[in-house]
Amino acid sequence: MNRIFSGIQPTGNLHLGNYLGAIRNWVKLQRDFECIFCIVDLHAITVPQEPAALRKATREVTAAYIACGIDPDACTIFNQSTVRAHAELAWTLGCLTPLGWLNRMTQFKEKAGKQRDEAGLGLYAYPVLMAADILAYKATHVPVGEDQKQHLELARDIAGAFNRRYGVEFFPLPEPQIFGTATRVMSLRDGTRKMSKSEPSEQSRINLTDDADAIAQKIRRAKTDPHSLPDSVKGLEGRAEAENLMGIYAALTDKSIEAVVAEFAGAQFSTFKGALADVAVAVLSPITAEMNRLMADPGAIDAVLRRGAERAGAMADGYLREIYEIVGFLRP
């Protein structure tokens, strides 16, 4: 049996990178796998969140999942804090996780910065909670981007540590689900940095809530270099902005990068940007419209999440009972 688990944090500003790098690929998976897609609100609070904004962002990610094509009848969509097993299992797994493993995590080092002693325990334990997310459902495959590979590797190590400690073969070791088609979308202001929801400049990213004018304007103002477009893929080397914009075009049109380079060989950036704006608007407008429609009816979104929480909770509670039995907790 193959089961997918993945999640996105409800921290605002869902953007083109989330769509092309993650959600769009999940849509394809739902036909072939049992899929569980989470809105990881417990992870969100590892850094400070405004309560009202957190609630709104949770509904927004849910709306985005559905608007992008994830079918809430075929998949389980829920927010993490509604299923107790995540936090509970994280405790049990944390007791098996050597500090040395956590000390290697590069994301913690980046997020904690120089003020290591000011960082919260939750931020440090973040990867253990992520392992609990995956293992609470015995997920076998986890679609993640490059930046989460180290955390997934740790989840595999923790699963192995549990199995070894208790002499069981309880947890399958979750595999990363890599997509040939996933696009690493970079900032429109700097082609060497990932498009990110935490980047202060709004001009750096195309949000899934942007209207057609905003999309076209951001693409028009995107950073470029002074040359015309190359006539071979090799000609993109060392031209991060050209590579990023052409990669986005390829992803949005489902064409290969070779085909896109051939189509615009020798063209000026201005010509290409016009074409890119057109396809971006064509693909994103229906998604934005559907998100807006869904966000206008929070009750319906909450109903999807309630149904998802029931399904996810039933599954995870069953496994948690078995885990507690293995660990030796008395159920008096």
Among candidate residues 56, 111, 223, 255, the one labeled active-site is: 111
Token pair for 224: 């470029």
Q: Residue 58 or 148: which CB sits closer to ligand TRP?
A: 148
Residues pairing with 66 in the sheet = none
Closest approach, Cβ 86 to ligand TRP, in A, equals 9
Instruction: Tell me, yes or no, if 255 is annotated catalytic.
Output: no
Q: How far is the CB of 44 from ligand TRP (least distance, A)?
A: 9
Binding residues (CB under 6 A) for ligand TRP: these are: 5-7, 9, 40, 43, 130, 133-134, 142, 144, 148, 151
**Of 93, 56, 106, 86, residue with least CA distance to 302:** 56
3-state secondary structure of 39: strand
- Residue 142: φ, ψ to 5°: -130, 110
Judged by CB, which is closer to ligand TRP: 37, or 272? 37
Q: Least Å distance between CB 139 and ligand TRP?
A: 8
Nearer to ligand TRP among residue 127 and residue 230 (C-beta): 127
Q: CB 189: neighbour CB atoms within 10 A?
A: 17
Q: Which is nearer to ligand TRP, 43 or 218 (CB)?
A: 43
Tell me how far, at minimum, the Cβ of 257 lies from ligand TRP, in Å: 25
Say how far apart CA 214 and CA 154 lie, in whole Å.
40
End-to-end alpha carbon distance in the chain: 33
Identified catalytic residue from 56, 114, 197, 273: 197
Catalytic residue among 56, 194, 223, 255: 194
Rounded CA separation 159/145 (Å)? 20
- Show Cβ contacts of residue 307 under 8 Å, excluding neighbours closer than 6 positions: 72
Q: Which residues have a catalytic role annotated?
A: 111, 194, 197
